Structure 1
Amino acid sequence: MAPASFHHITNTVCVMDASGSLGFSLVERLLQRGYTVHAAVQNHDCELQFGGLSCDKKKLKILYADPFDYKSIIDALRGCCGVFYNFEPPQDQSSYDEFMTEVEVRAAHNVLEACAQTETIDKVVFTSSATAVIWRDDRKSITADFDERHWSDINFCRKFKLWHALSKTLAEKTAWALAMDRGVNMVSVNAGLVMSPDLSIKNPYLKGAAEMYEDGVFVTVGLNFLVDAHVCIYEDVSSYGRYLCFNHVVNQHEDAVKLASMLTPSAPSHPQSFDQDLRIRQQRISSKKLNKLTVDFESRPQLEN
Structure 2
Amino acid sequence: MAPSFLANANTVCVMDASGPLGFTLVQRLVQRGYTVHASLQRHQGKEEEVLNGICGDPEKLKIFRSDPFDYHTILHALQHCSALFYSFQPPQDHPDYDEYMADVEVRAAHNVLEACAQTATIQKVVFTSSATAVVWREDRNSSQLDLDERHWSDPNFCRKFKLWHAMSKTQAEKSAWALAMDRDVHMVSINGGLLMGSDLSIKNPYLRGAVEMYEDGVLVTVDLDYLVDAHICVYEDISSYGRYLCFNHIVNNNDDILTLANKLTLPSSLPQRYEQGKSFLQQKIRNDKLKKLMHGGV
TM-score normalised by L of structure 1: 0.91
- Please state whether the residue corresponding to 1:88 is helix, strand or coil: coil
Cα pair distance change 1:291/1:6, threshold 3 Å: farther
Q: Distance in 1 between matches of 2:4 and 2:194?
A: 29
Task: Tell me if structure 2 keeps the 8 A contact 1:70–1:110.
Answer: yes
Amino acid at match of 2:120: E
Q: Distance in 1 between matches of 2:36 and 2:275?
A: 52
Cα pair distance change 1:57/1:221, threshold 3 Å: farther
Q: 2:74 — aligned with what?
A: 73
Q: Distance in 1 between matches of 2:53 and 2:269?
A: 36
> Would you say 1:145 and 2:128 are equivalent positions?
no
Q: 1:40 — aligned with what?
A: 39
Cα pair distance change 1:143/1:119, threshold 3 Å: same
Task: Tell me if structure 1 keeps the 8 A contact 2:148–2:286.
Answer: yes
Q: 2:13 — aligned with what?
A: 14
Task: For residue 142 of structure 1, report the CA deviation from its aligned partner.
Answer: 1.5
Task: For residue 10 of structure 1, report the CA deviation from its aligned partner.
Answer: 3.2
Cα pair distance change 1:273/1:125, threshold 3 Å: closer
Task: For residue 195 of structure 1, report the CA deviation from its aligned partner.
Answer: 0.7
Task: For residue 272 of structure 1, report the CA deviation from its aligned partner.
Answer: 3.8
Question: Per-residue CA shift, 1:199-222, capped at 9, x if unaligned?
Answer: 111000000000000000000000
Q: 1:301 — aligned with what?
A: none
Aligned length: 292
Q: Distance in 2 between matches of 1:65 and 1:246?
A: 30
Q: Distance in 2 between matches of 1:119 and 1:103?
A: 26
Task: Tell me if structure 2 keeps the 8 A contact 1:135–1:153.
Answer: yes
Q: Distance in 1 between matches of 2:237 and 2:119?
A: 21
Question: Per-residue CA shift, 1:247-275, capped at 9, x if unaligned?
Answer: 0000011101111111116x445684895
Cα pair distance change 1:157/1:7, threshold 3 Å: same
- Please state whether the residue corresponding to 1:136 is helix, strand or coil: coil
Task: For residue 240 of structure 1, report the CA deviation from its aligned partner.
Answer: 0.2
Task: Tell me if structure 1 keeps the 8 A contact 2:12–2:84.
Answer: yes
Task: For residue 51 of structure 1, report the CA deviation from its aligned partner.
Answer: 4.1
Compare 123-132 and 35-44 and name the one that shifted more.
Answer: 35-44
Task: For residue 196 of structure 1, report the CA deviation from its aligned partner.
Answer: 1.9
Identity of aligned residues (%): 65
Q: Distance in 2 between matches of 1:235 and 1:168?
A: 24
Compare 276-285 and 162-171 and name the one that shifted more.
Answer: 276-285
Cα pair distance change 1:256/1:56, threshold 3 Å: farther
Cα pair distance change 1:161/1:57, threshold 3 Å: farther
Q: Distance in 1 between matches of 2:48 and 2:273?
A: 50
TM-score normalised by L of structure 2: 0.93
Cα pair distance change 1:57/1:192, threshold 3 Å: farther
Question: Per-residue CA shift, 1:163-207, capped at 9, x if unaligned?
Answer: 000000000000000000000000000000001222111000000
Amino acid at match of 2:61: L
Question: Per-residue CA shift, 1:54-89, capped at 9, x if unaligned?
Answer: x66541111001000000000000000010000000
Q: 1:29 — aligned with what?
A: 28
Task: Tell me if structure 1 keeps the 8 A contact 2:261–2:268.
Answer: no
Question: Per-residue CA shift, 1:75-129, capped at 9, x if unaligned?
Answer: 0000000100000001111110011111100000000000000000010000000
What is the correspondence of 1:210-229 to structure 2 with a 5 Å cutoff? 210-229=211-230
Task: For residue 279 of structure 1, report the CA deviation from its aligned partner.
Answer: 1.2
> Would you say 1:182 and 2:163 are equivalent positions?
no
Structure 1 runs of 4+ aligned residues shifted over 2 Å read 4-10, 55-58, 267-278
Q: 1:280 — aligned with what?
A: 280
- Please state whether the residue corresponding to 1:15 is helix, strand or coil: strand
Q: 1:89 — aligned with what?
A: 90
Question: Per-residue CA shift, 1:134-174, capped at 9, x if unaligned?
Answer: 00010122112100110000110000010000000000000
> Would you say 1:112 and 2:125 are equivalent positions?
no
What is the correspondence of 1:231-270 to structure 2 with a 5 Å cutoff? 231-264=232-265, 267-269=267-269
